[in-house]
């Protein structure tokens, strides 16, 4: 009987620890100084390339949209 009681109490403690860990994952404790890991070194060349590519594609889509709008505006309106 004593052994079973001991097992139950240790299981309960483990469950409490698991609950605490889950809670810490949801809300990082403010008192811990190292909440965020140090940022990895960023290769700014690759980063800028991606940024420029994104801007270029955006400009291309905008130009295509403008061309479509201009074509629609230039096209004679269908007379009802």
Task: For residue 49, tell me if it sits in a domain.
Answer: yes
Please report the sign of the dihedral spanned by the C-alpha atoms of residue 14, residue 20, residue 23, residue 27: negative
Q: Is residue 53 part of a domain?
A: yes
Is residue 54 situated within a structural domain? yes
User: pLDDT tens digits, the chain, 80 residues: what are they?
Assistant: 555 555 556 666 666 666 665 555 555 555 666 577 877 787 888 888 999 999 999 999 999 999 999 998 887 767 77
**Both structure tokens of 5:** 């009681």
pLDDT of residue 14: 67
In a domain, 65, yes or no: yes
pTM tops 0.85, yes or no: no
Asked, for residue 3, whether it belongs to a domain, the answer is no
Q: Domain count of the chain?
A: 1
Query: Of 42, 61, 38, 40, whose CA–CA distance to 50 is shortest?
Result: 42
Total residue count of the chain as it appears in this document: 80
Residue 61 structural domain: 43-72
Task: Decide if 59 is inside a domain.
Answer: yes
Q: In sequence order, which residues have a C-beta less than 8 Å from that of residue 35 and are 6 or more positions away?
A: 28, 29
């Amino acid at each position: 009987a004593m052994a079973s009681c001991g097992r139950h109490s240790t299981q309960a403690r483990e469950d409490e620890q698991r609950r605490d860990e889950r809670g810490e994952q949801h809300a990082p404790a403010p008192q811990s100084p190292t909440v965020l890991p140090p940022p990895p070194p960023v290769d700014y060349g690759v980063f800028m390339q991606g940024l420029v590519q994104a801007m270029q594609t955006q400009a291309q889509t905008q130009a295509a949209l403008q061309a479509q709008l201009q074509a629609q505006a230039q096209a004679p309106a269908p007379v009802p």
